[in-house]
Structure 1
Amino acid sequence: MTSPEQPLRILAHTSAVPRIRRELTRRNLFGLAAAAGGAGVLSACGDGGSGGGGSSNATAVPTDAPASQVATGGPLEGSISMYSWGDYDAPEVLESFTKSKGPKITTDSFGSNEELISKLVASKGTGGYDIVVPTGAFIPQMVQNELLAPINKELIPNLEYMDPQFLGQSWDPENNYSICKAWGTTGFVYDTTKITRELTTWDDFIDAATNEASGKVSVLDDPAEVTGIYYWANGIDWNTTKAEDLDAAEDFVVNTLAPHIAAFDSYPGGQAIPQSTHWLMQVWNGDARIGIQESKDPDKWQWVLGSPATELWMDNWAIAAGAPHPEAAHAFINYVLTPENQLKNVDYIGYHTGAKDIEAQAEKEGLEMLDLVFFTPEQIATMKTGEVNDAQQRTVDIWNKAKAAAGA
């Protein structure tokens, strides 16, 4: 699970009402890289690091990293520009910030960490952005390459409302450059009217996929997730770089699993679950919850947290180096950390924001399907963060071969 030096990692997701589905893939750490050469961007951003969530062995952020514009608590500028994942903030929180504090907020969306990094590298600075939202594993590389500015924590007193378990992560032990925004994990859902036996593990997923659910299976459109099914089911380190493990994963994914796959779909909660397009679907917890809520027959869907192992990821508030509006950026981050705004964002985005006592608040507010939101310590112990390592390109190659074999 976690060592004394590395805090307990807890995930969650909530959404009280149906949402317009996000068009951008929040966890697609590899897909865009494969399409647009993003792997080279990561190389340009320094060696090491990790992706797909966080990294238990990510390089710690150097304390002597170059500083950029640092807020001092002066007057707020008139605007903020934010570069984040699609539809990742409650509109009412953005609107109330402008109404109460003044700065107007404009947002732009990226579909992967590679895209975020590529934009910042290409612009040799911020690209005009103030706030960015990278996944934790990418933060050391971004700091080392002067893409992030230090956070003046004296201007973020609302850090007191964060659960300490979500602070001090390995990629930024002192939270000098990042603050938790959201956590998530991976599992699957199945239609119990079509698959009448109980499924509880990745082995069960594989068995059903290659038998009664054949041709009615979808997996996430993400290389790390697709290969993860094999690693998680077989007790192999998800971050392995061993040639024999990669060879075995390729053989399984391409030759055994792919012929039964009907779709590579990163958001089955948007259409596939509500429309019962497929019977068995790999899915992130938050998207599963929304899809089941939007289904005409929610009771037929069963969510399963992938076991015996699965993933954990975490996105973070951060400030771009050279941010043109550092005072307003700090004020906004501080504003969203209040308990009231944290709960609004949990409700809207469908993932735990790392706030203190958020589970009790969610229960008090009557939010539904909290088993897809809050996980037990035993479940958390099975979750592992991913890495961007020497196996990245091979993993992308396996994914491409699997799509060709599936004809999807």
Structure 2
Amino acid sequence: MNTPDNAIRILAPQAAVPVIQRELSRRRFLGFAAALGGTAFLAACTSGGGQTKPGAVATGGPLEKSVSVYTWGDYDAPTVVSDFTAELGPKVSLDSYSSNEELIAKLIAAKGTSGYDIVVPTGVFIPQMIENGLLQKFNKELLPNLANMDPAFIGRAWDPENDYSVCKAWGTTGFVYDKTVITRELKTWDDFFDAAQNEASGKTSLSDDPAAIIGSYFWARNEDWNTTDTTALEECRTFLVEKIAPHIAAFDSYPGTNAIPQGTHALMQGWNGDFRLGFNESSEPDRWQWVLPGPITELWMDNWAIAAGAPNPEAAHAFINFSMSPEALFENLDYIGYHVGGKDMQAEAEAAGLPYLDLIFFSDDQLAAMREQELNESQTLRVDIWNAVKAAAGA
């Protein structure tokens, strides 16, 4: 059991927010905390007791009649879910959350009695979840379809042996600009900030996400965006508050939903899958230019995992394994618009004629320039900077 000195340090919301629309938040590391004006730290358990209730261990026995998945909104192709039930039997129930913080808060409160079998946390949270007993170790003998996953997207730093997690989907952060307003070519995060202060002043949106805003300052400088150096973070604050905030029209993590189809902004920061959705829905897709900026940017990854105390561990393993079949991987990629980590998927997507594949697949050089987030002791300061940026922009 962890003592209070070794308490889990994960941001948590005060209330759950229903997820009801397509392409909802699966990337808000700190959004709830920003809205609350600070960080909230939860102890996984205290010296008074409260260990996570152990669950049954999957051994390859008969599948249970159901499996419960607690995941991001609209994150699984309906055909994958229905085909799993038709072929293997267990009925799948899907429940959704809007942040990693919400997921973790519920698992901590339930202490192994949440009733959920499968969860889909973002990689940066997994080490703390493992340490605090919130996840159940895989029986990898029941996951033979791990062989279908691209080695580039397994064995990540948060779970090197994939003992507790495996890629569900991954993406990155970039920007889109309106070529009728910004007629020069933009390539880097420095270009983004320059255009925000010039042609796109008053017509720029930033992601509604502290990680992406603060990250982009360090990405532009090819510096460690996970730094805990307070001097560097205060320099970031000064730049964003004084140089950038006066030019910002909105904070919007999902410009693909409205801003691109309606043409309301000329320069927008966001995630690749959301921009792809916007291009698909735009009546003028050629008006917009997607940029994966240099010199570096973000890589995030959501992961299949099994909750500690899962009541249906056999069916949980079966559903994860089914979702890693080549057919299910492709159906999920087509449906959610993010890479799902399977092998040789680009050739299949090209053969199927899927549009905007440059927003799903990236070159080795592009992948090498992506950096993952870490949670560290600078989180409180980062949220404070984020609040200052929004206040300076009048949000």
- Give the Å deviation of 1:238: 0.5
CA distance, structure 2, for counterparts of residue 129 and residue 180 of structure 1:
19
Superposed displacement of residue 236, structure 1 = 2.2
Tell me the distance in 1 between the aligned counterparts of 2:188 and 2:127: 34
Residue in structure 1 matching 2:205, options 218, 222, 225: 218
Counterpart in 2 of 1:29? Answer: 29
Say if 1:190 and 1:303, in contact at 8 Å, map to a contact too. Answer: yes
What whole-Å deviation, never above 9, does each CA across 1:291-331 have from its counterpart, x for those lacking one?
11211100010000021110001111000000011111111
1:117 aligns with 2:136: no
Show the counterpart of 2:347. Answer: 360
The runs of 5 or more residues in structure 2 that have no matched partner are 1-19, 47-51
Q: Aligned to 1:274, what secondary structure does the other structure show?
A: helix
* Shift, 1:120, TM fit: 0.3
Q: Of residues 327, 331, 338 in structure 2, which corresponds to 1:344? A: 331
Task: Work out whether 1:69 is the aligned partner of 2:56.
Answer: yes
Are the counterparts in 2 of residues 24 and 110 from structure 1 also a CA contact under 8 Å? no
Instruction: Provide the rounded CA distance (Å) in 1 between the counterparts of 2:45 and 2:26.
Output: 20
- Return the TM-score normalized by structure 2: 0.90
Q: Is the counterpart of residue 238 in structure 1 residue 234 in structure 2?
A: no
- Amino acid paired to 1:172: D
Correspondence 1:315 to 2:302: yes
**Aligned equivalents of 2:45, 2:298: Cα separation in 1:** 24
Cα distance, 1:159 vs structure 2: 1.3
- Alignment partner, residue 300 of structure 1: 287
Taking the aligned partners of 2:292 and 2:23, their CA distance within structure 1 comes to 24
Q: Which has the higher contact order (CA 8 A, sep 6+)?
A: 1
- Higher mean alpha-carbon deviation, 187-196 vs 33-42, is at 33-42
Q: Conserved in 1, the CA contact under 8 Å of 2:177 and 2:268?
A: yes
Q: Structure 2 matches for 1:53-202, cutoff 5 A?
A: 68-202=55-189
1:40 partnered with 2:31 = no
| 1:289–1:223 CA distance, 2 compared to 1 (3 A) | same
- Residue 277 of structure 2 is aligned to residue 290 of structure 1: yes
2:265 corresponds in structure 1 to 278
Q: Is the contact between residue 166 and residue 303 of structure 2 (CA under 8 Å) also seen in structure 1?
A: yes
Moved over 6 A (4+): none
CA contact (8 A) 1:26 1:85 kept: yes
Separation in 1 of the partners of 2:217 and 2:210? 12
Query: Does the CA-based 8 Å contact 2:219-2:297 persist in structure 1?
Result: yes
Distance 1:268 1:165 in 2: 29
Partners of 1:379 and 1:103 in 2: how far apart?
40
Q: Which residue, out of 240, 246, 252, partners 1:259?
A: 246
SS at match of 2:130: helix
User: 2:380 matched to 1:388?
Assistant: no
Secondary structure, aligned partner of 2:262: coil
AA at the equivalent of 1:40: A
Task: Please state how far the C-alpha of 1:44 moved relative to its aligned partner.
Answer: 4.6
Quick check: 2:69–2:118 contact (8 Å CA) kept in 1? yes
Distance of aligned partners of 1:38 and 1:321 in 2 relative to their CA distance in 1, 3 Å threshold = farther
Given the two structures, how large is their TM-score scaled by the length of structure 1?
Answer: 0.87
Cα distance, 1:232 vs structure 2: 1.1
RMSD between superposed Cα atoms in Å: 1.9
Describe the SS at the equivalent of 1:273.
Answer: helix
One-letter code of the match for 1:219? L
Shift of 1:67: 6.5
Between 30-39 and 268-277, the greater mean CA deviation after superposition: 30-39
The whole-number CA distance in structure 1 between the counterparts of 2:356 and 2:42 is 37
Give how far 1:41 is off: 3.9
Structure 1 unaligned residues grouped into runs of 5+: 1-19, 47-64
Q: Which of 241, 255, 259 lines up with 1:268 in the alignment?
A: 255
- Aligned-residue sequence identity (percent) comes to 64
Check 1:131–1:41 CA distance in 2 against 1; reply closer, same or farther (3 A cut).
Answer: farther
Count of residues paired in the alignment: 371
The one-letter code matched in structure 1 to 2:104 is: I
Name the stretch that deviates more: 35-44 or 317-326: 35-44
Query: Aligned partner of 2:34: which letter?
Result: A
* 1:235 CA drift (Å): 2.4
CA drift of 1:42 comes to 6.0
Q: Report if the CA contact (8 A) 2:37-2:384 is conserved.
A: no
Aligned equivalent of 1:53: none
**How many Å separate the matches in 1 of 2:56 and 2:149?**
25
